[in-house]
Amino acid sequence: MSRTVSTAPSTDPLTSHLVSSEDGTPIEYFSTGTGPGLVIVHGTMQSAASQSELAAALAGSFTVHLMNRRGRGRSGAYPALDRYDLALDVADASAVVAATGATTIMGISSGGIIAAEVALAHPGLAVVLFEPALVADDSLDLDAFLARFEPEAARGDVPAYMVTALLGTQMGPAFLRFFPRRMLESSTRKMLAKGGVVPVGGATMHELATAVPYDMRIVAQRADRIDDYAAIRGPVLLVTAEKSPAYLRHAVERLRELLPGADFGTIAGVGHSATQNVTEGGKPQVVADIVIHHLSH
């Protein structure tokens, strides 16, 4: 059923809220816009602020809720890494969906895995998955990457594990793979020390870096489990980007096979940062146009 939508970016401010997750942990989220509720679950090295321009572009058609996952802003902390399970993040996102009455959940990268899990538990939800970080069919040598990453994370060597995550997940410009690790770790150390201004809904560099090992646990816990998502019963929109790493685009293609009724969209000329703000390499208006087109009719 069609309805009138606006494609003009909203200038409405973000309003802040807190909701208690299943275990009592506070989860922060920010709301803007009018219309049916849409919760956005961000990915690794992101916060609610990372998709603020996407939220503004969607706000003429949806009431958008940008959640801060644990360890960011006013959201509570993660438990110790050895006590972490993906179910915590799923419960947090579910609490935001319940508090807002949202009818759609959108997940980005590792947040896409969380959103897919929420959709499995709530068949009435529509779900938008932007390149969920699912490793399928040995499309990424995850074991080799984690063999280096996990000891670095265990000893708290943040610059080392951030470089390992960057290279292992094939993020960032390809030329970085030719730089000496010592140089990359030094640059990362300086970046962490510099910090910077935290926008509304944002997180400090320290918060983002500290959360990386939890995102890698999410990826590891759902590696080679992509077939599970064939059980999603609500409407599905799958979105990928032209220049993203091959393993992420492969995951989207596999989901298209598993969910033959799913809609599909692709973003030209950009990679895995497509949903982020323009200054971070994103194309938020293009992403919003695809979401509006597929969910508003």
Predicted pLDDT at 119: 97
For 78-100, write each residue's pLDDT tens digit.
999 999 999 999 999 999 999 99
Q: Are 106 and 125 in contact (CB under 8 A)?
A: no
Instruction: Give residue-wise pLDDT tens across range 88-139.
Output: 999 999 999 999 999 999 999 999 999 999 999 999 999 999 999 999 999 9
Residue 279: what pLDDT? 94
pLDDT in tens, 211-234: 999 999 999 999 999 999 999 999
Model confidence at 197, in pLDDT bands (50, 70, 90)? low
Q: What is the tens place of the pLDDT at every residue in 200-212?
A: 889 999 999 999 9
**Distances in Å between the alpha carbon of 178 and those of 139, 157, 220?**
22, 22, 26
The per-residue pLDDT for range 276-297, each reduced to its tens digit, is 999 999 999 999 999 999 997 6
pLDDT computed for residue 11 by the predictor? 53
Q: What's residue 178's pLDDT?
A: 83
How many Å apart are CA 265 and CA 238, to the nearest integer? Answer: 6
The per-residue pLDDT for 172 is 78
Measured CA to CA in angstroms, residue 23 lies from 43, 87, 90, 100, 219 at distances of 22, 11, 12, 18, 23
Length of the chain: 297
Q: What is the mean pLDDT of the chain?
A: 93
> Looking at the predicted structure, is the pLDDT value of residue 4 above 70?
no
Q: How far apart are CA 259 and CA 229, in angstroms?
A: 8
What would the mean pLDDT of 21-50 be, rounded to a whole number? Answer: 97
Q: Does 7 have pLDDT greater than 50?
A: no
CA quadruple 177, 216, 211, 74: dihedral sign: positive
Which pLDDT belongs to residue 297? 62
User: Is residue 8 pLDDT above 60, yes or no?
Assistant: no
The region of weakest confidence among 8-12, 45-49, 140-144 is 8-12
How many other CB atoms are found less than 10 A from the CB of residue 253? 14
Q: Determine the Cα–Cα distance for residues 22 and 149; give it in Å rounded to an integer.
A: 30
Going by pLDDT thresholds of 50, 70 and 90, the confidence category of residue 10 is low
Answer whether residue 3 shows pLDDT above 50: no
Task: Give whole-number Cα distances, 149 to 146, 169, 180, in Å.
Answer: 5, 11, 17
Predicted pLDDT of residue 198: 82
Q: Which of 162, 169, 153, 152 is nearest to 110 (CA)?
A: 169
Q: What is the pLDDT of residue 1?
A: 25
6: confidence class by pLDDT, cuts 50, 70, 90: very low
